Amino acid sequence: MEYLSMKNIKKSFGDLEVLKDISLHVNEGEVVSIIGPSGSGKSTLLRIATMLETLDYGEIHYLGEAAVEIVDGFSVYAKAKKLREIKNNFGLVFQNFNLFPHYSVLKNITDAPINVQKRNKKEVMAEAMELLEKMGLSDKADYYPSQLSGGQQQRVAIARALALNPKVLFFDEPTSALDPELTSEVLKVIKSLAEQHMTMVIVTHEMNFARNISDKVIFMDKGVIVVEGSPEEVFNSSNERMKEFLGKLQN
């Protein structure tokens, strides 16, 4: 089943055209990585998919339901109530974690399921402890975010996103604020999610990681998709821009 479909997405900030007719499709259980230089529009695409940013033109569907449709040539967002339902389908892990500093680790994870989704408190608590165990953070439940390393904070943020049981999980450069050691502990967690067939869209600068865990890789530059396909196809692509980008990385 197609979990996410984005069609003909266009977005400008003032005179700057950030996204020029981008389409993206993600199927159930698929891991899609988006790579490319800074300023290529990757993060904007993710922010549009998660509705932190509105698009200028295009269509977005989650599990076949229209979040944004084209009506008479204009993109129209679904009604607030419908949109809220649709937003239930995805979670987002930020580059800067954005944990709530005044909440303990456990409360960061459980507050939204209890107070937004109105789920049973005991059940949510038990699930949260399970998630923390998976993240290797069972002993940190009562800590505050500032008492944790960046890698630990990011793993809490992943647990927080997972606690809402999203169908699709987005990652916006999840390791860009971390040193190599901390990066590897976060990547390990994401990899294990991939092995459990979590549907994920990951914007990243970790090329080897993208290559190893993705079903599909998208290389973006200057607001367009330059190459897309399986990791082998993309990383062995003869496209000049792609080769240039990877070449610079190897140096």
235 near another protein (CB under 8 A): no
77 is a site residue for another protein (CB under 8 A): no
7-15, 87-95, 120-128, 214-222 -> range binding another protein (CB under 8 A): 87-95
Query: Which stretches within 93-206 are classed as H helix?
Result: 105-115, 121-134, 150-162, 180-195
210, 32 contact by CB (below 8 A): no
Stretch that binds another protein, among 127-135, 142-150, 193-201, 234-242 (CB under 8 A): 142-150
Shortest CB 42 distance to another protein, Å: 17
The CA-atom distances, in angstroms, between 45 and each of 14, 56, 142, 172, 173 are 16, 12, 35, 10, 13
What distances in angstroms separate CA 138 from CA 143, 188, 195, 196, 245, one per listed residue? Answer: 11, 17, 21, 20, 40
Residue 8 or 88 having the CB closest to another protein? 88
- The whole-angstrom separation of Cα 40 and Cα 61 is 23
Q: What is the DSSP letter of 223?
A: T
Of the candidate residues 82, 84, 197, 243, the single one contacting another protein (CB under 8 A): 84
Judged by CB under 8 A, the stretch of 80-88, 128-136, 148-156, 221-229 that binds another protein is 80-88
CA atoms within 13 A on the CB side of 159: 31
**50 touches another protein by CB under 8 A:** yes
Please select the residue that binds another protein; options are 41, 145, 151, 223, rule is CB under 8 A. Answer: 145
Among 12, 23, 96, 165, binds another protein (CB under 8 A): 96
* Residue ranges that bind another protein, judged by CB under 8 A: 50, 52, 84, 87-88, 91-92, 94, 96, 98-102, 111-112, 115-117, 144-146, 160-161, 164
